[in-house]
Amino acid sequence: MKIVILGAPGAGKGTQAANLSVKLKIPHISTGDIFRSNIKAGTPLGKTVKQIIDNGGLVPDEITIEIVKGRLSQEDCRDGFILDGFPRTIPQAEGLELILDQMGAKLDYVLNIVVTDAAIIRRLSGRRICPDCNTGYHIDHDPPMEEGICDNCGARLIQREDDSEDTIISRLNTYHDQTEPLIGFYEERGLLANVTGQYRIEDTTNEVYKVMGIKE
């Protein structure tokens, strides 16, 4: 199964992608995670993209497409994958079509998780993340057992640099300008399925299962 998950920052793409990855036993590929781990490891790529990401901008298409191309060519992607956070622009979507053509593959589903801007802003400003094991939390909806500490590994939770108030606004603007047009792009190709991301995580998961005909 080859799946793209679309949606604004904070719509819950990562959460749904992680769940589907376990359920369908196919890799979860998050360009955001790839960039963040490169930043953390201080690689040349990390150095190139840090400033852009911290400011809420987008990494240039050529760089992003190359990374995804490399990742999709790995053995574990042969029977399927879930792309989370890619494509984010029309040129990236065209790049993906080209990559898939070359692989003789095509997408099965593009799931668009729909959430209002107001909910996005509330969500992202309360989001916390474990710098060691990457588990996500929310101070209101999904707090850790002990404040500021990862349930999973005991590390001290942090706020992502790009989850600061100003950056959230610019990420949302970037989303509306550059990523939202992908909804039409995939609708035209008959691949789009909208699911609501406004309420509980399980509600979204159930809608996703329904769209894809997966039994719980």
Residues classed as catalytic? 13, 88, 127, 160, 171
Choose the binding region for ligand ADP from 18-26, 27-35, 115-123, 199-207 (rule: CB under 6 A).
27-35
Query: Which residue number, 98 or 153, has a Cβ lying nearer to Zn ion?
Result: 153
Q: Does 12 bind ligand ADP (CB under 6 A)?
A: no
Interface residues for Zn ion in 136-195 (CB under 5 A)? 150, 152-153, 155
Among 4, 10, 16, 204, binds ligand ADP (CB under 6 A): 10
Query: Which residue number, 129 or 149, has a Cβ lying nearer to ligand ADP?
Result: 129
Q: Does 137 bind ligand ADP (CB under 6 A)?
A: no
Among 81, 86, 109, 137, binds ligand ADP (CB under 6 A): 86
Q: Does 115 bind ligand ADP (CB under 6 A)?
A: no
SS (H, E, C) the chain: CEEEEEECCCCCHHHHHHHHHHHHCCCEEEHHHHHHHHHHHCCHHHHHHHHHHHCCCCCCHHHHHHHHHHHHCCHHHCCCEEEECCCCCHHHHHHHHHHHHHHCCCCCEEEEEECCHHHHHHHHHCEEECCCCCCEEECCCECCCCCCECCCCCCECECCHHHCHHHHHHHHHHHHHHHCHHHHHHHHCCCEEEEECCCCHHHHHHHHHHHHCCCC
Question: Residue 31 Cβ, how far from ligand ADP at the closest point, in Å?
Answer: 3
Question: Residue 127 Cβ, how far from ligand ADP at the closest point, in Å?
Answer: 8
Q: Which residues bind Zn ion (CB under 5 A)?
A: 130, 132-133, 135, 150, 152-153, 155
